[in-house]
Structure 1
């Protein structure tokens, strides 16, 4: 308490107990479900890559110095955000590694 008689700091205000709010269904939004994952895999196998993804794959294949950065910058220009670009780069790298593993098995 200060000299004015008002309480300040962490414990100011009327003491109340917080309510337990149940989780809302919207909290699950964006979570990858098994069925959706399977559908996306089937579509990727049937349709293949989009043209800009093929270009990203080509840059990854050729490699060289700064290939990671080049891929990131290209993906960011196409997709618009930092996080989406990083995710796409990892997705295409994983696709390429699976492709190479499949070719090595044959």
Structure 2
């Protein structure tokens, strides 16, 4: 799941792709050991689309962001990034958002959109 420039989840598929798995050889030893089976094609499940943002929700969030603007801490982060204080911006974001991972994501979003 990707995060767009405004910080919302987008429906596009992630660009990270794993290497294709080698087929089993039918032998019980070796790198690709295992019984050869045909993969069963399953119908899509409702849980597969969990976490995806619908077009309507994305539109509503962007309109609200345009009308309401940024939170004070977000303005502070953008000012720190403009000055070049990335580490300080990360500290401010971490203090407001709670976790290092969320802070890094928020800093990256503003780094892309304001620089």
1:53 is matched with which residue?
Answer: 74
Aligned length: 86
Return the match for 2:49 from 11, 28, 43.
28
Partners of 1:71 and 1:51 in 2: CA distance:
13
Over alpha carbons, which structure has the higher Rg? Answer: 1
1:74 counterpart = 2:92: yes
Length-normalised TM-score, structure 1: 0.58
Deviations 1:45-93 (A, max 9, x none): 10000111111112112x23xx2222222212221241x2222112223
How far does residue 21 in structure 1 lie from its aligned partner after superposition? 4.7
**Unaligned runs of at least 5 residues, structure 2:** 1-31
Length-normalised TM-score, structure 2: 0.54
2:62 is matched with which residue?
Answer: 41
**Unaligned runs of at least 5 residues, structure 1:** 1-9, 98-106
Partners of 2:63 and 2:79 in 1: CA distance:
22
Residue aligned with 2:51, SS: coil
Residue aligned with 1:30, SS: coil
Q: CA RMSD in A?
A: 2.8
